[in-house]
Amino acid sequence: MKYEIIDNTNIYVSRIAFGTGSLHHIFRSANRQSLLEAAFVNGITHFDTSPYYGYGLAETDLGKFLKGRRNVFTVATKVGLYPWGTASTNAATVWSRKALGKVLPIVSLPVINWCVEQARNSLYQSLKRLKTDYVDFVFLHEPDLALINTDEFMRWLETENAKGSVRSWGLAGLAKHITPWLQSKHSLAQVIQTQDSLDKKQADFMMNCCRSLQFTYGYMSSQIEACSPMSPSMIMRLALKRNTKGSVIVSTRSADHIASLIKVVG
C-alpha cells in the first residue's frame, strides 16, 4: 500500500480507504469485523464513517475494530446529517428501521441540523462509539453554505483542534454543495471529500478551483450503473491515476474484492 499526505494537513492516509456506509448490510457482527480486518491486512489504514451510516452502527463496529490499536489508523467522521431517533447497536435494528422507512420515510431520511451545539454533541457521541478521544478528520456532511453559521463552526472546530479531539476538518458532499465554499475560499473547506467518476468527472470542480483531489469516491458504482466492461482492477487503476495525491474510498462486502483492488496500488 502507498500513502500520501493530504493537502492542507500533515496527515498521511492510505491511497485506498474503506468507506463504512454499507457495512450494516452484513448481518453478523463477526463478519463485519472480519471485513474491516481484511481491509487492514491488505494495507488500508484510513476509514471513513458517519453517525448516519447504519444509524450509528458503522461507528460502533469501527470502534470495536480500532480498540487497542487506534494509532495505526486514520479516521474521518461527519456532522450535519443525523439518523432519526437513537443510534442502532445491531444490524437487526438497522434492517427493521430500513423496512419501516419504506412506510414512514422520516425513519430512514437524514435529520439535517446545522446547529453547532448539535454538531458538538454528535462529535462526542461519535468519539464514544469509536472508542477514541480524537478523529483525524471531521467533515460537514453535504453542507449548505446559506444555512450554516460559518464563523461559529470555525470557532468550534478550532477549539476541538486545540483540545486534541479533531486533527483536521473539511467538507464532504456533491459538487453542488462544495463549489460555493471553494469559490469563496472558505477556511472550513480545508479538506474535501467528494463524488467522482471516470466518465462524468464530477470532481473537476476541484481542479477548476486550483485544488488537487483529496478524498474521492463513486468510481466503482458509476461504472456498474453504466454497465462498463472494465474490470474492478482497471477501474481502480484509472481512479488512482485521476486522484494522484489523495485517497480513493471504496465500499464492499467482499474481502476478496478488497485484496484484488489493493494489488493495483503496488
pLDDT per residue over 166-200, tens digit each? 999 999 999 999 999 999 999 999 999 999 999 99
Single-letter amino acid code for the residue at 219: Y
pLDDT per residue over 36-74, tens digit each? 999 999 999 999 999 999 999 999 999 999 999 999 999
**Which DSSP string corresponds to 40-63?**
HHTT--EEE--TTGGGGHHHHHHH
Query: In angstroms, rounded to a whole number, what is the distance separating the alpha carbons of residues 167 and 151?
Result: 19
Q: Give the model's confidence band at 225: pLDDT under 50 very low, under 70 low, under 90 confident, else very high.
A: confident
130-160: b or e for each residue (b if 16 or more CB lie within 10 Å)? bbbebbbbbbbbbbebeebebeebeebbeeb
| CA 86, chain centre distance (Å) | 21
What value does the mean pLDDT take over residues 88-106? 87
169-187: b or e for each residue (b if 16 or more CB lie within 10 Å)? bbbbbebebbbebbeeebe
Q: Is the pLDDT of residue 219 over 90?
A: yes
Single-letter amino acid code for the residue at 253: R
Single-letter amino acid code for the residue at 249: I
What value does the mean pLDDT take over residues 212-228? 91
pLDDT for the residue numbered 177: 95
List of domains in the chain: 3-265 (3.20.20.100)
Q: How long is the chain?
A: 266
User: Between residues 1 and 157, which one has the greater pLDDT?
Assistant: 157
Q: Is the pLDDT of residue 98 over 90?
A: no
**Which DSSP string corresponds to 80-107?**
SEE-SSSPP-SHHHHHHHHHHHTTSGGG
pLDDT per residue over 114-169, tens digit each? 999 999 999 999 999 999 999 999 999 999 999 999 999 999 999 999 999 999 99
pLDDT per residue over 242-261, tens digit each? 999 999 999 999 999 999 99
pLDDT per residue over 99-114, tens digit each? 888 888 877 889 999 9
pTM check: above 0.75:
yes
Query: In angstroms, rounded to a whole number, what is the distance separating the alpha carbons of residues 172 and 189?
Result: 9
